[in-house]
Structure 1
Amino acid sequence: MIISMAYPGRYMRLFYIVLVSLLIFDFAFYPFAAHAQSRRTARQTEEKSERPSPRPFTTSVPEETEKEVTPPVEIKSIGKAAYDAVIRSGRYIVGPGDVFAVVINRNEEIETFEVPVGASGSLLFPSVGPVSVAFLSLTEANQAIQTAITKRFHQLDISISLARLRTFPINVVGEVHMPGAVDVEGVEQASQLITKAGGLIDDFNRKGSSRNIQIMRLDENGQWHNTERRIDLELWNRTGKAQYNPFLLDGEQIVVPVARSDSIYITGAVQYSGSYEFAPGDRVSDLIVLGNGLRAHSPPKRAHLLRLSDDGEWRPIDIDLSRVLAGDPEANLTLQAGDKLYVIGETKWVYVEGEVKFPGPFRFKEGLRLKELLQRAELTSEASVVQASLIRKVNFEEQTIEDDPALNRLLGIPRSQRTDAEEALIALKTQQLSGRLPIDFVALMAGDEQHNILLQDGDVVRIPRFVPSVRVTGAVISPANIPYDAALTVGGYIDLAGGFNTRAKEKDIIIVEGNTGNAINATLESIVRPGDAIVVPTRATVPGQGYRITREVIAMLGSIASLVFTIVLINREL
């Protein structure tokens, strides 16, 4: 073996030449690769420096030292909802940092003093000793304090009350911009804590749920468990009821999942037709609330609920709305994902909203056209014709999502596995199904009769206030709304947003038109109008990753070649 290595044959010499060539290639191109890597690292560092740093995730409990007691918060006022839900109900969780007020009535004089909860979780009363109250409810803590004092003093009239509240951490994790621990200052609702965590993520290809937010609780064994409480920000925005936006207690955390892809739909004689994220347990009354209620000028009494049966057919179910609104559980059916509710109105109306002199309902008549309606409503000087839209209710009995096989197939693909083109197609098709018609209001007001369409019962015309800006979002350094400049193209707005980041798909830019809602492919030279949105998709892998792997393999082979070459030289010396 030693002899064969000392005097290599033709094939061995060829093998050595290849390995040495790889070694030379590695050393020759390494400076270029290192330079490219340093440039990418510098860009990534710059991007990270411009982002707000998320607070670290923590579930730690303060150690038993007095210096780590969180100072109490001076609460100047607590709303009635917070007081009733947390303090008056006795559900507040007592912990280190809370301060209790003690009032002693000695007949001739009244003595008052404050007693803080120490780091050990105990209240230290003079002549009584420590009373452990850590992580008890306020009701349980008051009982423990009264029991300890009564054993020591029988004749004195002593009252105890919570005087000042502490600050404690709550974890907000999941689909928020800055997941981690946020401070609860006394008593705060879930929506306030989500806002502190940067708000829900609502990007082009990623969205946090607003209706299925979970509240988890830490048990005695350090394990997180679901509670019966659920956060539903959509219903809370409609009703203002604290049950949909609860107050958080110490030992709980908020988990924001990805928004569900299945929805429930409502249209007809309601204030806001559309689709809404499905939440298990939804009922017909909840869907009516999500639609902002029935139209007040002609309250309907009937509705049709369309439900997909096991055999793939849509089955209508008659709904008695008077019984639903009266709270009849038999009429107020539990909904399923994909259900569609059509509320039947008796009087036909069309609606104009936004920057007009006479907003509101207009009685519908056959032959009414869009331009005539706008003339009757009279646009104001601040109306944005470019961003105006016409929303038409969907007749679920004639057109459903399941009627479109291509859309149905795309919706069956997990969100993480869809391409940008598939996401854009889903957005376009669902916009069309939800009723937004691609009307060019600028051409309409200029006299183009092609866009002066016949209106239908329930049509809604929305005229927003003119906002001279263009939204740039997606894979750019600094997503933002940028003031409109007629001289700028897509490339100019992207430059003002900091340029592409390292994961941008620079050739797959999409413009979402402000006046029609249509998503169209664009280039850096494409024209942009006020109200448009520029979306830069994100690529799945970082550019240069394949080259780095190739370079590392070549470096490894070069090292092997060096080792073999050294052995050959040693053998020759021998």
Structure 2
Amino acid sequence: MLRFLFLILAFSVSAALAGESSFSVGAPQFQTQEAKFQRASTVQEPINLEGAIDSSYVVGPGDFFEILIPKGIDVVQVSPEGSVSVPGCGIVKVDSLPLNQAKAAILGLLLTKYEEKFVQVQIVKMKKVHVSVLGAVNAPGFRAIDPQTRLSTMIGYVNGFKPLADKKNMKLIRNKDTLNIDFTKYEMEGIDSINIQLQNDDVIFVPYAKSNQTITIGTLKVSETVTHVEGRTFGEYLDNLKTFTAGDNRWAKVTTPDGKVETYEISKIRDRVFEPRTKIELWQKEPLVYVGGAVAAVGRALYNPDFHAIDYIGASGVTIITGSWSRVSVIRDGKSFSIDPYHDTIMPGDYIEIPRTVYEAVKDVTLFLASLLSVFSTAIVIYQFGNK
């Protein structure tokens, strides 16, 4: 019996030794690479970067590093505590280190076990950056974005600026510092230094423009008030309208901050720059001016911003014999007032009236009285003749 038990024990030990020998032949230390050290599927996703990773990139929790050693490939993630655990080598802290220093720290740990020529360290996926955008944007809030994202891209993520956004006085709050940003210089001049890369926990604040720093553009039915941008042309404002489109509008009525009103063809003022508080009304139909009174051709004329009342009157056929130059009046918005026909501004829709001269008026009265006297005289003669 003892002999039988001894044989069974010897057979079991031999089998165990044989199994260990067959397992270890040709197998690397990291033999469970398919299970324990298999490359994560998320790491194989393309990295959404605008270019090469900047060596000054600051490493933190969530970053992935790929480690190449003679016995295989390992992918490790920076832990919430900011450390990287390299199997078989130990743990190294890399949180808040620039990328080149973090790689050097991991490499230093590897060199305690492997030769330098057989190891390699590279970052394969970077952590998300958390940024908040507040103020005059269409979708304010908190966003988790890719590292190395620039300010202009972030504005796209929040669906762009609102019409009254004051892009000239934007703020970027980073740690305890506040950066003032004039984003219009990037939009109009392409200054890349303004389009900065965002960092974790950045807060972007876009203020609303003050009422005295706006321009209003609209039609009879709808209008849009936008932020005034120094140097921006009327055409650029039209191209960026969101509430409505300029469409087939051909004319623009411009009211300047001092109350002066002018009308232009849109095509002729697209390159013009207007002051803050300017109001612009767009029209589709051609503007007209109406002329009546002592003129040969009562009617309407196409508005011309270079014309004064005297030009419309002359085009209607008035003469100094019938019309009075000194008493020309205009009816505008239901109100009548006298004007200087040589210098005062005429607006679309005005009704210009030129009265008859005093001579013509007296002559008409005289003719009327003479006619009336003739009628009375005739009636008297008929009455006396009938009584005889």
TM-score by length of structure 1 reads: 0.33
Q: Which has the larger radius of gyration?
A: 2
Higher relative contact order at CA 8 Å, sep ≥6: structure 1 or structure 2?
1
TM-score by length of structure 2 reads: 0.46
